[in-house]
Chain A
């Protein structure tokens, strides 16, 4: 009996350890968004997004600090944080979702997938199904996705005075490289 317990505990613990090895985190790449109007283009990039991908459970999570989105115009950056996403109240934008397709991410290849989950911005949660491409190569995983975000969906109000400069629909681009979590 004792032998069984010991053997079982060791096996269970190694299972926990290997489950940990099946997690991938952010190495490099960016999450960015782009708004285009006839009057102005708004372009921001975040290269400090925290990403976690669980291979076995096929779950992926993103956390991005709003203040880490960098703009070429610092005034735009200040307005983004002060007026639009109100970073003091809502410091982070997050996404937590599950990959729908039955794929094995331990094998190398290019996978076209859809991820369903909750996208939270400006304190408002929206369930989204986002198409993307996951590439597994040489021990690294690349996640690419492009999806639109409607400001009104997340209670982000564009003042009437600048309606011609800020688009209601903003395109978000994800292009991150992940490596196994140590």
Chain B
């Protein structure tokens, strides 16, 4: 009987005791396990040219300046690149503003030199989530834009339609952040030209882009991408009626992020800065041997349009 009492006594006493660590683990058990959405798959809304799965969060504004030079000619005639300043003299430029209307939907407007305006929408359909309930392996985004060519008509005597100035892009972006070091994206795309030269030129061009981003330091990343057209590769005549041949677009780049700015330095064979131009209107062949690459750089700056509503103590 005594033994039994002693055992019961010990059991009850141990029930009332609390070890130090038990306090934190007990609290953790009560806290809801979160399926955390993966953040910063890519450092910017574009990999180099290709759209990434990133969008601006609500009330965040991204002001972006993009440049792409003419092909770098490192030869004696060009004073080893210095005469045209590594292609600066033939540069194409785009200014744009992208704004998050919600955390998952971004709208944008831009203007490229050469009379091209573009309006775009990018929406996060699914977000990659790890740990906890509701894990999801990839981020899926939908991107669409309309390009408006405002240059003057070639022939004012014929009937010209405003809709002929328009081109459209629809794109799905599948992206996955494998770990803090590497992210990958695949972008099936369709580019639609309302007006093409003649019936032998397709209005719709289908393409698939692949892109990867590799972390170098906490503030820098290396990016690489390639977009390959699936049809319309051997067109006898180009969109504008010339004999030009179009090529796929390839780019490698380097991102440096400093707080609110992202600086991107890259080399690409294409000159276009919006999808319709770099996917379907690239006339520079991919030539590693002769280094037929164009230097380019982008600068983007994020502004917060949020009024400070954080509670003050």
Contacts and interface: CB of A to CB of B under 8 A. Distances in A.
Interface of A: 1, 4-5, 8-9, 12-13, 15-16, 19, 30, 32, 40, 43-45, 47, 50, 52, 54, 57, 59, 61, 63, 65, 67, 70-75, 78-79, 81-83, 86-88, 91-92, 94, 96, 157, 159, 161-162, 165, 173, 175
B16 A16 contact: yes
Contacts of A161: 219, 256, 258-259
A81 B39 contact: yes
B100 to A, nearest CB: 8
Contacts of B40: 78, 82
Contacts of B154: none
B36 A91 contact: yes
Contacts of A81: 39
Contact of A63 (B28, B103, B130): B28
Given A5-B8, A91-B36, A75 B23 contact: no
Nearest to A158: B218
Main secondary structure of the interface of A (DSSP, over half): mixed
Given A73-B306, A74-B60, A75-B60, A52 B36 contact: no
B5 A5 contact: yes
B24 to A, nearest CB: 6
Shortest 8 CB-CB distances between A and B: which pairs? A74-B57, A12-B12, A73-B304, A82-B40, A161-B258, A83-B218, A162-B259, A75-B302
Contacts of B31: 50, 63, 65
Q: Which interface class (under 10, 10 to 19, 20 to 34, 35 or more) fits B? A: 35 or more
29 contacts: A9-B8, A12-B12, A12-B15, A13-B12, A16-B15, A30-B311, A30-B313, A45-B310, A50-B31, A59-B20, A59-B23, A61-B24, A63-B24, A63-B31, A65-B34, A72-B309, A73-B306, A74-B59, A81-B39, A82-B40, A83-B219, A87-B36, A88-B36, A96-B24, A159-B219, A161-B219, A161-B258, A165-B259, A173-B313
Contacts of A175: 313
Q: Most chain-A Cβ atoms within 10 A of its Cβ — which of B9, B16, B38, B217?
A: B16
A152 to B, nearest CB: 15
Contacts of A65: 31, 34
Interface of B: 1, 4-5, 8-9, 12-13, 15-16, 18, 20, 23-24, 26-28, 30-31, 34, 36, 38-40, 57-60, 103, 130, 180, 217-219, 256, 258-260, 302, 304, 306, 308-311, 313
Contacts of A79: 259
B127 to A, nearest CB: 13
Most chain-B Cβ atoms within 10 A of its Cβ — which of A16, A19, A75, A162?
A75
A174 B146 CA distance: 50
A109 to B, nearest CB: 22
A43 B36 contact: no
Contacts of B256: 161
B16 A12 contact: yes
Nearest to A11: B12
A165 B13 CA distance: 54
Contacts of B57: 74-75, 78
Contacts of A32: 313
Contacts of A88: 36, 38, 130, 180
